[in-house]
Amino acid sequence: MVHKTAARHLLLGSAAAMTLFAAPATAQDAGGSAASANDGDEIIVTATRREERLQDVPVSVTAVSAQDLARSGLKEVSDIQYLAPNITFSATNPVSNGGGYQIRGVGTQTYDSGVEQTVGLVIDGVVIGLSRDPGSTGFSDIERLEVLRGPQGTLFGKNSSAGVIQVITKKPRLGESSMSLDLKYGERNDRAVQASANVPLGDTLALRLSGYSNAQDGAIPYVLDKSRAVGDRRNNGLRAKLLWEAGENVSVLLSGEYQTAFARDGAIIESLGTSALYNSQFARFAVKPGSNVYASYMDGDWTADTSLYAGSAEINVGLGDHTLTSITSYRHLKTLQLSDIDASPANVFNNSDGGVDSNQFTQELRLTSPGGQRLEYVLGLYYYRTENSGYAAQYGNYYGLFGAPVVIGGGRRDGTNKVRSLAAFGNITFEITDAVKLIGGLRYTNDRNHGTLVVTPLPFPAVPLGRLPNYDGTVRADNLSGKVGVQFEPSRDVMMYATYSTGFKGPAIDGTGGVIREVRPETVKSWEIGAKTSFLDGKATFNLALYWSNFRNFQAQTFDTTITPPAFYLSNAGMLRARGVEVETSFRVTPALRLSASGAYNDSTFRDYDGQCYPGQPISPVVGEGCYVAPGTTTTVANYRGYPLPNAPKWSYILRADYKQAVGGDTAIDAAANWAWRSKTQAVIGDPKAEITSYGLLNGTLGIGAEDGSWRFGIYARNLLDKRFYAPYAAGVINPGGYAKIVMPEAFRTIGGTLSFRF
């Protein structure tokens, strides 16, 4: 029934669009496959919803081609954090359930379906609503990635307060027959098969098929079951795109995809706490949990299985010199998960399972004026709707942290969430002189978020685990945001700009841990000035951006150790400030060698935020300082004014070298090296024991093949120096006084070989 409804939505949306589009003109495809490079290293992007040179765009943008991703040995969309400055990806616990991007230190690290992301992820013009979505990590048949920093609501259908990551996959090409095959194998059975085919179907039709299968065994073993490991991954996907040039001024692009993802994670103990009973469970092991021990002692399992069906229809029709674009999409996502939340070899809570069933429908209409005019504009309407249902159940044999084993029953939480967002947006540029343009934009957003929670209590609890109330409520908000600025371009090689933007993120219903929290909308005021320059006949570029953003009611991540299992949840911080500098530069040293460097200084701190005290934080006798007792209550509150945001390094930089040289006989060698470093940061606000130390990762490739790319053999290395890094956090009541850690798969070295063919 779900899939019939999806098909009906797509057909109705497309039919309505076609009815509107009955007019002759020349169509411009602003969301199409722009060339990643032209005139040597000149990069073309669609950050402003029309094709422009990167150096002409008055926004801080980084564009990464699929070739750059592949030559770095990287394999997921989230790996862009090692290629673009001032962006990070952080996973909440467990890793398999999701995470979030941060741009300029600001982002949402939650996977609750009632919370939208501060950093928007857009794939082929379609917003990805949930971080669990395999489309947010899969890497297949990608044309390029674009990172847009700062509020982007006046140009994109879904509002975003911190920035947008735009993924553009390859489109079918008329009259072209081609195939590609990429094979990979490396350490810990790191294996991948990626294939694509472009098939012409007459003069006006073309079909593109692509598929991938990626997998790797984890590096952190389950001590009690060597066949399992934290970090086990399997991802598979198929995509089909059909392009129909229906007339001189009408094009239709239909897309469908199916993806599956499997991940095995688990709680990894960083240190044991004060519970003698809990600690005794590890007495039989020669190697005990510790900071340098990478092993999981769970006797249960911790997995997530996800499947996705998705379809979209993009129609572009010329209306005079204008282009009217309709993008209709539907996504159905299903996730099932298991977890052993006690993290021990004892069966305390071995069976904590849950699932999410999500349906997302979007419709965007966008009118784009012709380029190269004195007045240019983009006008749009947007509709977004998600319906999510989920459950979580916990049960086990005993809960022995209070002195003696006790039998408990089971508990279950069933919840639903419906989000509806309506928006109208527009962005204009007006050329005052040949060198000066004015920029303006406006957006109206109306959001509604409804959630329910039904709790089935433990039938015979010997130990009370807390009473979770039922919930049935709705949060609403509307907002008017915008953008003004000026762009000065005295020559083709120099462009400067200054902008002021406001942004908005809708209200949230956060159900982490089964405790419902209504979270107020988040707003931002952002100032940015920048310059983009080219010199040495275009062989070198130097781009600079300075920014200052003030967030109000920022939806901040707080760690709650009082619930089981401990979890990150959202609350509103009164004020947050993010300010800093970004630099990106590149230099074509020779036709064969290109060097590039980028870096950022980022100061993201809370200016007004009272949150939960971290475990063991000393109680201050002064109200309003440190961790103090709120007047008239027994509740402790921490003043985090001046504290940095989690996962927001103050300093970061990236160094990269690319080399390709013909060696005769139509053969060429190539090499690429990428070093990405970031300074220390916090995994949890304020807790000195929850520090992520500074680290750098070296990735690269080396290969030989045909100069025209028809074949290539190479080797790749991810984290060549085998640098360990992890995010520690307090373990909570199950291991009181102890700490656990989140370890990402890229914290371990992987070396392997690749074989590629192009036909």
> To the nearest whole number, what is the mean pLDDT of the chain?
86
How many whole angstroms separate alpha carbon 235 and alpha carbon 434? 50
Q: To 10 degrees, the CA torsion angle through 138, 144, 150, 152?
A: -90
Instruction: Tell me the CA end-to-end span of the chain in Å, nearest whole number.
Output: 41
Please give the share of the chain, as a percent, with pLDDT higher than 70: 85
CA-to-CA dists, residue 642 to 95, 352, 556, 694, angstroms: 29, 37, 14, 20
Q: Which residues contact 753 (CB under 8 A, 6 or more apart)?
A: 184, 185, 186, 713, 714, 715, 716
Residue 33 lies in a domain: yes
Residue 688 has pLDDT above 60, yes or no: yes
Residue linked to tokens 């089971």: 410
Whether the pLDDT of residue 14 is over 80: the answer is: no
Considering only 30-39, 254-263, 367-376, which range has the smallest mean pLDDT? 30-39
Residue 403 domain-assigned? no
Nearest to 604 by CA among 92, 91, 163, 107: 107
Lowest mean pLDDT among 23-32, 72-81, 313-322, 462-471: 23-32
User: CATH number, domain at 59?
Assistant: 2.40.170.20
Does residue 54 surpass a pLDDT of 80?
Answer: yes
Distance CA 221, CA 728 (A): 19
Nearest one of 285, 296, 349 to 726, comparing CA atoms: 296
Smallest CA-to-CA distance from 197 within 219, 237, 170 is with: 170
Q: Which residues contact 283 (CB under 8 A, 6 or more apart)?
A: none
> What's the pTM value of the predicted model, to 2 decimals?
0.89
Highest average pLDDT, of 40-54, 106-120, 392-406, 557-571, comes from 40-54
Does residue 470 fall inside a structural domain? no
- Map residue 67 onto helix, strand or coil: helix
When pLDDT is averaged across residues 285-314 and rounded to a whole number, the result is 92
Residue bearing the bigger pLDDT, 460 or 434: 434
- Residue 97's Cβ-side half-sphere holds a number of Cα atoms within 13 Å equal to 23
* Mean pLDDT within 201-221: 95
* Structural domains of the chain, count: 1
Does any domain span residue 282? yes
Distance CA 338, CA 328 (A): 34
Domain holding 82, by residue range, is 2-319+482-609+649-758
CB 272 within 8 A of CB 738: yes
DSSP code string of 84-125: STTEEEEE-SSGGG-EEEEETTEE-----TT---SEEEEETT
Is residue 454 very low, low, confident or very high in pLDDT (cuts 50, 70, 90)? confident
Residue 66, H or E segment: helix 66-71
* Cα–Cα dist 533/34, whole Å: 22
Show the tokens assigned to 651: 């300093």
Q: Which residues pair with 412 in a beta bridge?
A: 393, 456
Within-domain flag for 349:
no
pLDDT score at 47 = 82
Mean pLDDT on 370-382: 95
Backbone angles phi, psi at 52, to 5 degrees: -145, 155
Confirm if 313 and 14 have CB atoms less than 8 A apart.
yes
β-strands 163-169, 119-123: how paired?
A: parallel
Contact present, 465 and 458 (Cβ < 8 Å) = yes
Reported as type and span, the H/E element at residue 604 is: strand 593-608
Q: Which amino acid is at 666?
A: D
What gap in Å lies between CA 659 and CA 141, rounded to an integer? 23
DSSP symbol at 619: B
In this structure, what are the phi and psi dihedrals at residue 114, rounded to the nearest 5 degrees?
-90, 10
Higher pLDDT, 555 or 715: 715
pLDDT at 462: 42
Q: Is the pLDDT of residue 97 over 80?
A: no
C-beta contacts of 591-597 below 8 A and 24+ residues apart: 592/659, 592/660, 592/661, 593/657, 593/658, 593/659, 594/41, 594/657, 594/658, 594/659, 595/656, 595/657, 596/654, 596/655, 596/656, 596/657, 596/658, 597/653, 597/654, 597/655, 597/656
pLDDT higher than threshold 80 for residue 34: no
Place of tokens 């359930």: 97
* Domain-embedded: residue 56: yes
Tell whether 639 is covered by a domain.
no
218-257 pLDDT per residue, tens: 999 999 998 999 989 999 999 999 999 998 899 999 999 9
- pLDDT tier, 464 (very low <50, low <70, confident <90, very high otherwise): very low
Asked if residue 338 is part of any domain, the answer here is: no
* pLDDT tens, residue by residue, 579-633: 999 999 999 999 999 999 999 999 999 999 988 888 889 999 999 999 999 888 8
pLDDT of residue 203: 94
Alpha carbon 673 to its chain's center? 24
Query: Tens of pLDDT along 499-527?
Result: 999 999 999 888 765 567 888 999 999 99
Q: What is the pLDDT of residue 513?
A: 58
Q: What's the CA gap between 387 and 374, in Å, rounded?
A: 43
Q: What span, in angstroms and rounded, lies between the C-alpha atoms of 282 and 297?
A: 8
Distance (Å, rounded) from C-alpha 302 to C-alpha 165?
29
pLDDT of residue 344: 85
Q: Are 226 and 264 in contact (CB under 8 A)?
A: no
Give the CB-side neighbour count of residue 718, counting CA atoms within 13 A.
23
- Tokens 């984890």 -> residue: 218
| β 268-271/739-742 pair status | antiparallel
Does position 289 have pLDDT exceeding 70, yes or no? yes
Listed range (210-214, 266-270, 377-381, 690-694) with the worst mean pLDDT = 266-270
